Amino acid sequence: MSRAFNFSAGPATLPQAVLEQAQAEMLDWHGVGASIVELSHRGPEFMQVAAEAEADLRTLMSIPDDYAVLFLQGGATMQQALLALNFAEPGQAADYVVTGHWGKTALKQVNHYVQAHVAASGEAGGFRDIPPRADWTLTPGAAYVHVTANETIHGVEFRELPDVGDVPLFADFSSSIVSEPLDVSRFGVIYAGAQKNLGPVGVSVVIVRRDLLERAGQPRADILDYRSHVKGESMLNTPPTWNWYLAGLVFKWMLAEGGVEEFAARNARKSALLYRTIDGSDGFYRNEVAPAVRSRMNVPFFLRDEALDKPFLAEAKDAGLISLKGHRALGGMRASIYNAMPEAGVEALAAFMRDFQQRHG
């Protein structure tokens, strides 16, 4: 098969130009006689790759100088544990706003470390809406407030930044980072697994307001200490160099394409087309999320007749549209349309959906 349009939620589709460059450089990076994945992380070649990746991400996201940027292993889940270990005192309160599956996961990592308090939850409503800020019950003296900017499974996304006063706002941006301009200065910590919008799986980005690093936190190993990682410039131990390199290629591709403003416009068009196709199907397809908080990145939808799920997936695959099966927690379908999904891919999906409905409706 040639390249399909791949709607996987993560690991997710990568820009073809990035894959082609990685392919061309696989046996010999820039004439040094070895692949970048075979070179020391402390050698001049990889140090340059690493520095450029950080600089490019800082440019893309307009990250202020008083924020450190880390490239770490362990995924977003590991960062969820480290947030509590690094920024809360043992047993201190920490507020969690739970708007889907990943907010619940975040909570699960910190029970041993903090007094985790659910300040608000959309669970009673099946995570189809985000509880309004006015309904949140924040805890005085909390170490931080944690939100999930975009819920990959439930398809809800914060479209406005909540005001939480002087308490630092920590946000899991795994599935929506660099999808539109963001005011980084509103956050204490932004973290993201890279395997959705940033590039390859196996590396995570953590953006930390430096003053928070002065917090004592809890007794922890050196490898679990963000201060040590900042001091070691994300090379406290051997970093995932190939993954970091591939993320760097994605950053350069994004900058060349026009940066986050351009991707924000594309993502708005892509998601609008998909929701329009769903909403205009007379109920043949449905998305149950409150329109104001519908995700621009992950569009879960259901067919009215579940018996058509299998034919839908099979015919879509034949049409070169893959990885549309919904998460097992929800069933149905899900189209993940991160930055690297071209508009042509979403147009092809929308056309296929209309055609499928005509034939099976």
The set of catalytic residues is 102, 172, 196
Name the one range near its own copies by CB under 8 A: 104-112, 117-125, 208-216, 286-294.
104-112
- Are the CB atoms for 297 and 267 separated by under 8 Å? yes
Q: Which residue in 101, 8, 9 sits closest to 330, CA to CA?
A: 101
Q: Which amino acid is at 173?
A: F
Among 22, 178, 260, 278, binds its own copies (CB under 8 A): 22
Residue 115 engages its own copies in binding (rule: CB under 8 A): no
Among 184, 201, 213, 255, binds its own copies (CB under 8 A): 201
Q: Which residues 143-162 are close enough to bind its own copies by CB under 8 A?
A: none
Q: Which amino acid is at 333?
A: M
Residue 323 engages its own copies in binding (rule: CB under 8 A): yes
Residue 131 engages its own copies in binding (rule: CB under 8 A): no
Residue 28 engages its own copies in binding (rule: CB under 8 A): yes
Q: How far is the CB of 285 from its own copies (least distance, A)?
A: 22
- Strand, helix or coil at 190? strand
- Judged by beta carbon, residue 161 or residue 236, the one nearer its own copies is 236
Q: How far is the CB of 298 from its own copies (least distance, A)?
A: 13
- Judged by beta carbon, residue 184 or residue 224, the one nearer its own copies is 224
Q: Is 216 exposed, middle or buried (0-12, 13-18, 19+ CB in 10 A)?
A: exposed
Instruction: Please list the alpha-helical segments (H only) found in 8-130.
Output: 16-24, 44-61, 75-87, 101-108
Residue 344 engages its own copies in binding (rule: CB under 8 A): no
Q: How far is the CB of 34 from its own copies (least distance, A)?
A: 5
The answer to whether the annotation marks 105 as part of a ligand binding site is: no
Instruction: Give the β-pairing of 115-121 and 93-98.
Output: parallel
Name the one range near its own copies by CB under 8 A: 131-139, 297-305, 315-323, 345-353.
315-323
Provide CB contacts within 8 A for 173, sequence distance 6+.
149, 150, 182, 190, 191, 192
Residue 48 engages its own copies in binding (rule: CB under 8 A): no
Distance of CA 119 to the CA centre of its chain: 22
Residue 313 engages its own copies in binding (rule: CB under 8 A): no
- Are the CB atoms for 73 and 204 separated by under 8 Å? yes
Q: Give the binding-site size for its own copies (rule: CB under 8 A).
A: 69
Angle between helices 259-279 and 343-360 (to 10 degrees): 0
Residue 80 engages its own copies in binding (rule: CB under 8 A): yes
Distance of CA 99 to the CA centre of its chain: 15
Residue 39 engages its own copies in binding (rule: CB under 8 A): yes
- Strand, helix or coil at 100? coil
CA distance linking residue 151 with residue 99, whole number of Å: 7
- Judged by beta carbon, residue 67 or residue 352, the one nearer its own copies is 352
Residue for token digits 């395997």? 195
H or E element, residue 40: none
- Judged by beta carbon, residue 177 or residue 203, the one nearer its own copies is 203
The answer to whether the annotation marks 241 as part of a ligand binding site is: no
Name the one range near its own copies by CB under 8 A: 22-30, 47-55, 130-138, 274-282.
22-30
Rounded to 5 degrees, φ, ψ at 5 are -85, 120
- Are the CB atoms for 77 and 109 separated by under 8 Å? yes
Among 183, 211, 222, 257, binds its own copies (CB under 8 A): 222
Residue for token digits 């092809």? 348
Contact residues: its own copies, CB under 8 A: 1-4, 6, 8-14, 16, 19-20, 22-23, 26-28, 31-35, 37-41, 43, 73-78, 80-81, 84, 108-110, 112-113, 193, 195, 200-203, 219-224, 236-243, 246, 320, 322-323
Binding-site residues, please? 42, 76-77, 102, 152, 172, 195, 237-238
